[in-house]
């Protein structure tokens, strides 16, 4: 893991939805959640408002040895600059509109080519395995990146419990699609629901995280509450949010972005600085909080810096063609 700890200070988020400003209890709860990360530059009313997208439940998690040593992005930025098209295509839309998402009750159905299909309640998922804090890099296909302290456990725990059959080659993740809760579903930018997928060996890898929290508390709605997947060596859109169904399948699933723009978004979507997006280079990236908005100062790392862990998964593949 990289030990580059150089990161600049970033201003607190200026996104202050009126409903949050008027909700004093949510603000106080969010502000308290941020205290543990005050040394990272987090603080102020903007940070508290940005944090108010979750239910504020604290999570006890041991720091994982899989964590990067890099300094995390501030909570304020990580919860106010998001891609979650179910709530709008602007980066600020999820923080503005995701309050409509109902995160209790919530269930995740695990089905398909498994011997023990099961419907997990979200509270059962929270108790299923010891929680870990894993500080992972997140690289977006649009050219920006963050470092985020996720809380969860390896998705392999789910795989072990449902016992995939021998013909299960892929895992398909489906996000909630409810127009009553998700105003972005009125957009035709994608076909809904949002679907993503991994090869089963990718899903089984110890780095692949079933994330239930962030910065020591449950996930904010704008970050994919109450449960999402995090695959740190792939571009961010591979990490499905607000998951309601997981299917083990024999054939490679048709994923949302690959269906919409197959020449821009391949199934694998591994971070590869040598393969440009058709409309921009992937060679460099802008770390949120580290430099100016229009700057791309960091060199993008192959597999987002996780090559020592995951490169063997792709032995013999042409990573320029199978992107």
Task: Indicate the domain borders of the chain.
Answer: 18-314
Using the 8-state DSSP alphabet, how is residue 109 labeled? E
**Angle at Cα 296 formed by Cα 323 and Cα 53, nearest 5°?**
80
Residue 198 sits at φ, ψ, to 5 deg, of: -135, 155
Q: Which CATH number fits domain 18-314: 3.40.630.10, 3.90.420.10, 1.10.3720.10, 2.30.30.240?
A: 3.90.420.10
98 contacts 87 by C-beta, under 8 angstroms: yes
The secondary structure element, H or E, covering residue 256 is: helix 256-260
State how far the Cα of 251 lies from the Cα of 238, in Å rounded to an integer.
18
How many Cβ atoms are within 10 Å of 176's Cβ, its own excluded?
20
State how far the Cα of 167 lies from the Cα of 311, in Å rounded to an integer.
24
pLDDT tens digit string along 134-161? 999 999 999 999 999 999 999 999 999 9
State how far the Cα of 79 lies from the Cα of 92, in Å rounded to an integer.
9
Q: What percent of the chain has pLDDT over 70?
A: 81
3-class secondary-structure state, position 110: strand
pLDDT tens digit string along 164-198? 999 999 999 999 999 999 999 999 999 999 999 99
- Tell me what pLDDT residue 56 has: 81
238 contacts 198 by C-beta, under 8 angstroms: yes
């Amino acid at each position: 893991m990289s030990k580059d700890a150089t990161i600049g200070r970033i201003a607190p988020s200026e996104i202050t939805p009126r409903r949050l400003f008027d909700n004093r209890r949510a603000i106080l709860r969010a502000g308290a959640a941020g205290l543990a990360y005050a040394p990272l530059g987090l603080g102020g009313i903007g940070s508290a408002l940005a944090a108010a997208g979750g239910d504020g439940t604290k999570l006890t998690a041991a720091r994982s040895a899989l964590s990067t040593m890099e300094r995390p992005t501030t909570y304020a930025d990580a919860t106010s600059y998001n891609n979650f098209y179910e709530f709008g295509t602007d980066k600020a839309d999820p923080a503005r509109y995701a309050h409509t998402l109902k995160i209790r009750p919530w269930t995740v159905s695990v089905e398909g080519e498994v011997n023990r299909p099961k419907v997990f309640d979200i509270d059962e998922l929270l108790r299923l395995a010891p929680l870990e804090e894993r500080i992972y890099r997140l690289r977006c296909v649009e050219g920006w990146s963050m470092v985020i302290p996720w809380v969860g456990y390896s998705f392999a725990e789910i795989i072990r419990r449902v016992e995939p059959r021998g013909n299960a080659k892929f895992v398909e993740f489906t996000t909630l699609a409810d127009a009553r809760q998700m105003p972005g579903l009125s957009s035709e930018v994608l076909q809904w629901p949002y679907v993503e997928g991994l090869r089963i060996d990718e899903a089984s890898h110890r780095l692949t995280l079933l994330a239930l929290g962030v910065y020591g508390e449950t996930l904010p709605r704008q970050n994919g509450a109450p449960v999402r997947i995090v695959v740190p060596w792939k571009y961010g859109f591979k990490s499905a949010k607000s998951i309601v169904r997981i299917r083990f399948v024999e054939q490679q699933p048709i994923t949302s972005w690959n269906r919409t723009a197959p020449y821009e978004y391949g199934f694998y979507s591994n971070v590869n600085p040598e393969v440009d997006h058709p409309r921009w280079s992937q060679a460099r990236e802008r770390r949120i909080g580290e430099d100016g908005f229009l700057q791309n100062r960091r060199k993008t790392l192959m597999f987002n810096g996780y090559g020592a862990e995951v490169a063997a998964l792709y032995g013999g593949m042409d990573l320029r063609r199978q992107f």
